[in-house]
Structure 1
Amino acid sequence: MVFWFPLITWALAVGVAVLMSWRGPHPFSLAVLVDQLLRYILVFPVGLMGLWAFMGHVFFPAQAAASIGWAPSPFQLEVGMANLGIGIAGLIGAFLGSPGYRAAVGIVALGFLGGAGIGHAIQIEETGNLAAGNAGPIFYTDFLTPLAVLGLLLIQRVLGPVPQR
């Protein structure tokens, strides 16, 4: 599941964003698609991935560590709690957050997930650790997810406000 869950959350984010954009006001606009994509990236890759990682590191630490190719560690509780905060913040930002709130979620996610991605890269280089939780899709989504949030916020700022539904 460690291999598939990041891919599933991204597929859901893109699929639901396209569906909600298609169901939205017509004529279709790029601003609506960007808004929906941002919203559902916050729901699925940020929100649900954060909650999923929280549960894995806090409630199933041995399995979570094994999936990354590591031994269990007391630090997993801290990692899990950080994931919990990011996950909840992503869900709040999806439906209640202002652009500034969403940017803050993106920055925190970039610091934490981007830092984790750098750690995974170091492990791959130094130890050859190609475990699914270290070198699989999670490695790429650790960078893609926060950069997508921040990039879409920038595009949203350039495009201007979303037409009211």
Structure 2
Amino acid sequence: MVFWFPLIFWALAVVLAVVMSLRGARPFSLSVLVDELLRTIMLLPVGLQGLWAFTGHVFFADQTAASIGWAPSPFQLEVGMANFGIGVAGVIGAFLGSPGYRAAVGIVALGFLGGAGIGHVVQIEETGNLAAGNAGPIFYTDFITPLAVLGLLLIQRVLGPVPQR
């Protein structure tokens, strides 16, 4: 079941963004949709998924390591704490984040999650590790999530200000 969490967070983020974009009093526009996508991606794939990963690496280290195809390691505490920081920053960015704050969260997420994604590639190439936690959805979302945040911020900058709520 853990295998599906990254996909569930992403699906919920997209559905919620569309629903929230269409239900507001302001007219629907691309800038409104981009803003809502940023909010829901910050909340779910960055925020709650970061907190979910923190919980797994810190409190369920043995099971989490097994799902990745690794032996348990003391480094999981460090990975878990990094996920905690990114998760909290993502939740804050969903509700209070300025574009600059969200960009900073996106850059930190790109460094950590992108680095983890590269680590997954290395594990696949060097050891053939195709465990669900290494080569499954998390492999793709490690790259897609921070790139989506940064890409949407760029689009938001080009589109200009979002109509007031």
TM class, shorter-length = over 0.9
Other-structure match for 1:86: 86
- Report the Cα distance in structure 2 between the residues aligned to 1:80 and 1:152, rounded to whole angstroms: 27
Other-structure match for 1:130: 130
Q: CA deviation at 1:26?
A: 4.2
Q: CA deviation at 1:12?
A: 0.4
CA shift digits 1:25-55 (9 cap, x unpaired): 3431000000000100000000010000000
Name the TM-score, length of structure 2 as normaliser.
Answer: 0.99
Q: Which amino acid aligns with 2:121?
A: A
> CA RMSD, aligned part only?
0.7
- Report the Cα distance in structure 2 between the residues aligned to 1:129 and 1:2, rounded to whole angstroms: 17
- Report the Cα distance in structure 2 between the residues aligned to 1:142 and 1:95, rounded to whole angstroms: 22
Q: Which amino acid aligns with 1:92?
A: I
Other-structure match for 1:39: 39
- Report the Cα distance in structure 1 between the residues aligned to 2:140 and 2:35, rounded to whole angstroms: 23
Contact 2:107–2:150, Cα closer than 8 Å, also in 1: yes
- Report the Cα distance in structure 2 between the residues aligned to 1:41 and 1:98, rounded to whole angstroms: 14
Q: Which amino acid aligns with 2:135?
A: A
- Report the Cα distance in structure 2 between the residues aligned to 1:27 and 1:15, rounded to whole angstroms: 18
Name the TM-score, length of structure 1 as normaliser.
Answer: 0.99
The equivalences for 1:39-118 within 5 A come to 39-118=39-118
Please list every run of 5 or more consecutive structure 2 residues that lacks an aligned counterpart in the other structure. Answer: none
Query: How many residues end up aligned between the 2 structures?
Result: 165
Please list every run of 5 or more consecutive structure 1 residues that lacks an aligned counterpart in the other structure. Answer: none
Q: Percent sequence identity over matched residues?
A: 85
Other-structure match for 1:5: 5
Q: CA deviation at 1:2?
A: 2.6
- Report the Cα distance in structure 2 between the residues aligned to 1:41 and 1:24, rounded to whole angstroms: 18
